[in-house]
């Protein structure tokens, strides 16, 4: 790793934040300008949404199952095993479902966007698009941002549902709980605030995943090594940002809804 002075590091950090902010703002502003490239949006929605479905299904199901399995010993100690459905539903819908789905999609798609756009940069395809009068941000970035935000919303709902099924399978098969009792407590425990909190987060996470992946792809320099470096940086940065935004979004929403 090359050593640089603190002043140069600060300058590079400020420049990175500025460039990323401009790219993120431009990706939103492009929604209100023609052309809108709906075919590219549908193609990216298929790649991002349908392609991520197997890993999201497995992650959601086994997260709910493990959550139920780990929680059952503590609940049994206090004679409150009947609250297992409530614990799994609130835990999955408010926190684990959105965050784990976001991390899985980030690992799969943020790296893919960075490598794809980075390859286009180093092979000068981006420059060729500009020469032909096509705006690369409108053609390449905005469809990915829209598709990621849209599809992650529904992937999170699927993950939440599969998590509840995973918890129910453990409760029925290993703990001997009544299936109807589990689902009635899981359903009754959810409030509007819980569902709202769980469905706002994927919109934020989808925007982070797509813009970070596109930023590192567009910024790739130095041939194939630069593309590999950009791919790694995109996954790390998007995962860290998801966890940071999750904390502040949770704190903000809890303050709005009056949680203490």
Secondary structure of 126-163 in HEC code, one letter for each residue:
HHHHHHCCCCHHHHHHHHHHHHHHHHHHHHHHHHHHHH
- Is the residue at 22 inside a domain? no
- Is the residue at 186 inside a domain? yes
Cα angle 155, 156, 160; round to 5: 120
Token reading at 139? 């053609």
* Stated pTM of the model: 0.89
The total of other beta-carbon atoms located within 10 Å of residue 146's CB is 24
- Is the residue at 26 inside a domain? no
- Is the residue at 127 inside a domain? yes
- Is the residue at 58 inside a domain? yes
Confidence at residue 3, expressed as pLDDT on a 0 to 100 scale: 65
Domain that holds residue 82: 34-257
Question: Residue 38 and residue 234: Cα distance in Å, rounded?
Answer: 25
Domain count, the chain: 1
Token reading at 224? 């194939």
- Is the residue at 143 inside a domain? yes
Give me the residue label for tokens 């390859």. Answer: 119
Which residue numbers in the chain have pLDDT < 50? none
Confidence at residue 117, expressed as pLDDT on a 0 to 100 scale: 87
> Residue 78 in contact with residue 178, Cβ under 8 Å?
no
- Is the residue at 110 inside a domain? yes
Question: What residues have CB less than 8 Å from 201, skipping those under 6 apart?
Answer: 98, 99, 102, 156, 245, 246, 249
- Is the residue at 20 inside a domain? no
């Amino acid at each position: 790793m090359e050593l640089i002075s603190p002043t140069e590091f600060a300058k590079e950090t400020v420049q990175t934040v500025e460039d990323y902010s401009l790219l993120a703002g431009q990706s939103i502003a492009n929604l209100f300008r023609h052309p809108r490239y709906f075919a590219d949006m549908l193609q990216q929605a298929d790649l991002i949404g349908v392609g991520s479905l197997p890993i999201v299904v497995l992650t959601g199901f086994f997260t709910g199952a493990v959550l139920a399995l780990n929680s059952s010993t503590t609940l049994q100690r206090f004679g409150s095993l009947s609250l297992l459905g409530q614990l799994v539903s609130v835990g999955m819908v408010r926190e684990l479902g959105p965050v784990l789905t976001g991390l899985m999609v980030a690992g799969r798609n943020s790296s893919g966007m960075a490598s794809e756009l980075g390859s286009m940069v180093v092979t000068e395809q981006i420059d060729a698009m500009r020469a032909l009068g096509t705006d690369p941000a409108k053609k390449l970035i905005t469809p990915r941002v829209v598709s990621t935000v849209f599809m992650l919303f529904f992937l999170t709902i699927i993950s939440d549902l599969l998590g509840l099924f995973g918890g129910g399978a453990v409760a029925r098969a290993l703990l001997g709980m009544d299936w109807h009792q589990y689902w009635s407590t899981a359903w009754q425990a959810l409030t509007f605030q819980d569902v709202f909190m769980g469905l706002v987060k994927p919109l934020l996470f989808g925007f982070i995943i797509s813009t970070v992946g596109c930023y590192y792809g567009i910024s790739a320099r130095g041939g194939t090594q630069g593309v590999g470096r950009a791919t790694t940086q995109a996954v790390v940065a998007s995962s860290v940002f998801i966890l940071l935004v999750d904390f502040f979004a949770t704190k903000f929403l809890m303050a709005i809804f009056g949680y203490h």
